[in-house]
Structure 1
Amino acid sequence: MSRYLLDTHTLIWWNEGDKQLSQLATKTIENLANSLYVSIASFWEITIKLQTGKLKLDYYINELAAACITSNIEIVPVKLYHLNQLSLLPVLHKDSFDRMLAAIAYSDHMTLISKDKQLGAYNISVI
């Protein structure tokens, strides 16, 4: 069984059926043998972007969380060992949420599903 962490944009694209999600990412998410995860940090990022007007959604954040639960995508809390790993990462990526996701993926031995190829610089697998 493989473990996959969805990046914030991946979560939104999956929920909306957006064609920007690659075929490989879609197949990976739809494969029932895989364990899927999303960080609570992604919901935090979405909330901030909604508040600042950088993102518009036609649904509420609790509806997105419910879609995750219905689809067996586990919502992962940020734990102290994730923060410890984050503190060890070099600042190769300017987005603090992306660095947090890289720390979670590294700590929890997950492959990150993201369009952001820069995240591979953190010694994690990225689809």
Structure 2
Amino acid sequence: MSLLLDTQALLWFLLDDPRLSGNAQAIIVANEVAIFVSPASIWEIAIKISLGKYALPAPFAPFWGEQLQTNDFSLLPISVFHAARVVDLPFHHRDPFDRLIIAQSLVEGMPVVSSDDTFDRYGVERVW
């Protein structure tokens, strides 16, 4: 089985934030499933850092390379099929990053680790 982390779950995991659910934490660290990260999440975090909303404990690019490798996370490249799937999504969610992650989940048949119950309205399998 494979799981896709949404931006918030990814950030909370990497920053050891207590808002990450115990279940999500256990699944991520268990190494029993393949964990994927969308480049959309890294892009969203880059924007939030540039706006001063978050800070990382190391320079941005080396931090991501190290974290992906250390945690055995794989990138799920954004394909034309993912982008095209966004066209058909209803606007339950206005966040373009979440909409792309939802589209990736639907196209790949991959559950998403997310606290955001709006994902449920898209028929995405959500783990929290």
TM-score band by shorter chain is over 0.9
For 1:56, the aligned partner's letter is A
1:106 corresponds in structure 2 to: 106
Count of matched residue pairs: 126
Separation in 2 of the partners of 1:29 and 1:76? Answer: 16
* Residue deviations 1:68-99 (CA, integer Å, cap 9, x gap): 12221101111100001111111110111011
2:123 corresponds in structure 1 to: 123
Separation in 1 of the partners of 2:52 and 2:17? Answer: 20
SS class of match (1:59): coil
Does 2:25 align with 1:26?
yes
1:75 corresponds in structure 2 to: 75
Separation in 1 of the partners of 2:53 and 2:65? Answer: 20
* Residue deviations 1:4-62 (CA, integer Å, cap 9, x gap): 10111111111122211111101111222201000011011011111122323333332
Structure 1: 5+ residue stretches without partners: none
Separation in 1 of the partners of 2:56 and 2:70? Answer: 19
Separation in 2 of the partners of 1:121 and 1:84? Answer: 19
Does 2:23 align with 1:49?
no
